[in-house]
Amino acid sequence: STSAHRHRASALRFIMEGEKGYTVVDGNKIMLEVNDFVITPNSTWHEHGVEEGGKTCIWQDGLDIPLVNALEANDYAVYDGKQELVKPLNYSPITYGCAGLIPADKTWDKPYSPLFKYSWKNVYPALLEAQKVNEINPFDGIFMQYSNPLTGGHVMQTMGAAMQLLPAGFKGKAHKHTGSFVYQCAKGKGYTIINGKRFDWKERDIFCVPSWAWHEHHNLSETEDACLFNFNDLPVIEGLGLFQGRELTENNGHQQVQ
């Protein structure tokens, strides 16, 4: 287990494997499962570990350290001892992550989401339900943003995240936009063409799409869907009024592979 610490940089985690792993964020202990998405907002005390009888927990970390360091605004502190648990186990996901209901008798005054864990067991069924009633986005399939349940906005001030489902046989068209994206394949297999170069991926592979790079996603399976997790810097890009996008019009919307 790690010692409790905090820093101005925000962090997020996408769980790849393990059993009985946990995180503690500002006294809230949360159990982790594969494909869960977890946030550690800036300046929150946090620590991680695996309970007795569990298996090594591996996850993808994402932090905004380059931005915070460039602004010369980072700091770091270590907690003296272990955090005292201030809420029951899994309080945050149970209280703020169920059925669209939020507490009517509590006030949340932080600039980030009160929901610290977004459970795959809820996310994947939501994608399947959304697929039944929504047109398939020609670029991203079924594209759902992880959001602050109190505002509908991004989960944190500097980093956002999303999950997308590519239906069986999906062949996405190419577009580009400002904002950098880091992806992980959560389910299935396929490939993404980035600026004319093909990158094949399967579960647990990680790849990135730089800002303003042409990209298109393809699901290689004709019978199974594929799911891609991503985290991004859209809260900063959008907050500064810098977002723009463009769709590829030539070659029927697809890139020529170099």
Kind and range of the H or E run holding 126: helix 120-133
pLDDT digits (tens, 9 = 90+) for 111-124: 999 999 999 999 99
Tokens of 104: 């009517």
Q: How far apart are CA 111 and CA 126, in angstroms?
A: 26
Q: What is the pLDDT of residue 81?
A: 81
Q: Kindly give the parts of the chain with pLDDT less than 70.
A: 1
Is residue 193 a contact partner of residue 120, using CB atoms and an 8 Å limit? no
Q: What is the pLDDT of residue 231?
A: 98
Q: What is the pLDDT of residue 100?
A: 86
pLDDT digits (tens, 9 = 90+) for 30-40: 999 999 999 99
Backbone torsions φ then ψ of 7, nearest 5 degrees: -155, 160
Helices (H) and strands (E) in the chain, counts: 4, 17
Q: How far apart are CA 1 and CA 39, in angstroms?
A: 18
Q: What is the pLDDT of residue 37?
A: 98
